[in-house]
Amino acid sequence: MKRIWMGAILALGTAYAATLPYQGLATDAKNNPKVDGSYSVGFALYSASSGGSALWSESQSVATKKGLFSATLGSISIIPDNLFQGSPLYLGVSFDGGSEGGRVLLGTTAWATAAGKASTSAYADSAGKVAGLNDSVSKLRTSLQDSTKALLDTVTSLRDTIADLNAALLSQGNTISALVSSLLPTSSSGIPWASVSYGLIQDSRDGQVYRTVTIGTQTWMAQSLNYRIATGSSDTVGVCYLNSADNCAKYGRLYTWAQVMNGSTSSATSPSGVQGICPTGWHVPSDGEWQSLEVNLGMSVATAATSGWRGTTEGTKLKSTSGWNTNTGTDLYGFRVLPAGYVDGGSVGTIGYSAKLWSASGDDATYAWYRSFNYANANVYRGNLYKSYGFSLRCLKN
């Protein structure tokens, strides 16, 4: 008994007529491959899986090799185009004059693809898909171009911002790299690093950049304010020590208490709620907020509330390591108090020897609380003086 095994031989590819590639395996009754040779193979197409008359048929001579053989259906007898109109087709194969084995279902779409006979509508649909793909690619290209332009604009804007920032720093005799390298204090012995961090802010009013330091829950400016409002050639807020712009750049400006408050009334609360002449998001510290800083440095709550020179080393911890006549500080926290001196009416005094900083807390109509640091002391002075004096200002973040 001769047998033929039909594989799924639709090696779908483009053909030039109504043809279909086919492969099969011919075996004998014991399922051994047929002896190599030439055999006659019949092919027929039906509309049903069994019975009925063939819609098309042909016979070909094929050569087997280890039972395998190939054929191209439709190469002897043309397969009618009307067989590809949607009805299922079944392929029957007979080998060397034997009977057909079981028929194999062939979908008309597969036939049409194999025969290169796709309908006009199918071609139109494919063309439409290609056009749609081209449109999508075009939109993607446009989107990528827009995104690239937006990215370049952002980079350009960032470059300009960095250039402006560096220009602002240069105007103060500094650079970005030098400023960043100056953030950390010069000594780290005994500092509670977990509660201390550093940063930078830029005052949107004049573009000036200030170092900041966070000690505990408070974030302070680590430089004294150097904000100026001018009318013509005259300063209306703040003066430079000895009218030297270099002193303003190094030490900040000296302000009366009224200038610091900028129209606000005295505040003893924590936070003070007084922006005064501080940048947006910052305020003038109250006397109580100064006490909180001193407690964070190690001063007792009771001592912080007293007047005069208090504590033992708190002044040294906050003073800069240079600029003082003698007894420079350790700048343990990077707070960096410089000996900016002060203005007493029309006279000036003690640059290099002392620094005095305002609070938002007025003691009465004449006096206000302040903090003082001195070359001869390791502690911090808490007292009240005339509001008309010109002192430095450290702003505190809201």
Q: pLDDT, tens digit, for every residue of 166-200? A: 666 666 655 555 655 555 555 455 555 456 788 99
pLDDT at 31 over 90: no
Among 118, 144, 162, where does a domain finish? 118
Contact (CB, 8 A) for 281 and 271? no
Burial of 182 (0-12, 13-18, 19+ CB in 10 A): middle
- In this prediction, residue 8 has a pLDDT band, given cuts at 50, 70 and 90, of very low
Residue 158 lies in a domain: no
pLDDT score at 264: 96
Domain count within the chain: 2
Q: Which of 94-98, 325-329, 374-378 has the highest mean pLDDT?
A: 374-378
Phi, psi torsion values for 257, nearest 5 degrees: -65, -40
pLDDT for the residue numbered 138: 77
Q: Are 168 and 202 in contact (CB under 8 A)?
A: yes
218 is a domain residue? no
Convert the pLDDT of each residue in 199-218 to its tens digit: 999 999 989 999 999 999 99
Please tell me whether residues 238 and 359 are part of one structural domain.
Answer: yes
Q: Which residues pair with 343 in a beta bridge?
A: 348, 390
- For residues 248 and 110, membership in a common domain is answered with no
| pLDDT single digits (tens) 77-110 | 888 877 766 678 888 888 888 888 778 887 544 4
Give the integer Cα–Cα distance in Å for 338 and 341.
9
Q: Do both 102 and 231 map to the same domain?
A: no
Confidence grade of residue 124 (pLDDT, cut at 50, 70, 90): very low
Max avg pLDDT among 226-240, 274-288, 312-326, 347-361: 274-288
Verify that 387 and 242 share a domain, yes or no: yes
Q: Does residue 85 lie in a domain region?
A: yes
Q: Which residues are CB-contacts of 290 (< 8 A; sequence separation ≥ 6)? A: 359, 369, 371, 382
Distance CA 16, CA 129 (A): 23
What SS3 state is found at 25? strand
Q: Is 55 inside any structural domain? A: yes
Does the residue 11 lie in any domain? yes
Residues 238 and 377 in one domain: yes
3-state secondary structure at position 123: helix
User: Minimal CA–CA distance to 382: which of 359, 366, 364?
Assistant: 359
Q: Are residues 113 and 231 in the same domain?
A: no
- Domain region containing 32: 3-118
How far is the C-alpha of 266 from the C-alpha of 273, rounded, in Å?
Answer: 10
Q: Is residue 175 part of a domain?
A: no
Boundary of a domain, candidates 95, 118, 141: 118
**Which among 118, 149, 178 is the end of a domain?**
118
Q: What is the pLDDT of residue 226?
A: 94
Decide: pTM greater than 0.75: no
347, part of any domain: yes
* Domain assignment present for 138: no
Q: CA–CA separation, 69 vs 5, rounded Å?
A: 11
Is residue 135 predicted with pLDDT exceeding 80? Answer: no
Q: Pseudo-torsion of CA 375, 370, 282, 173, nearest 10°?
A: -30
Same domain for 238 and 98: no
For residue 15, the model assigns a pLDDT of 39
For residue 52, give the DSSP letter: S
Question: Does residue 260 sit in the same domain as residue 375?
Answer: yes
CATH number of the domain where residue 77 is located: 2.60.40
What is the structure's pLDDT at 17? Answer: 52
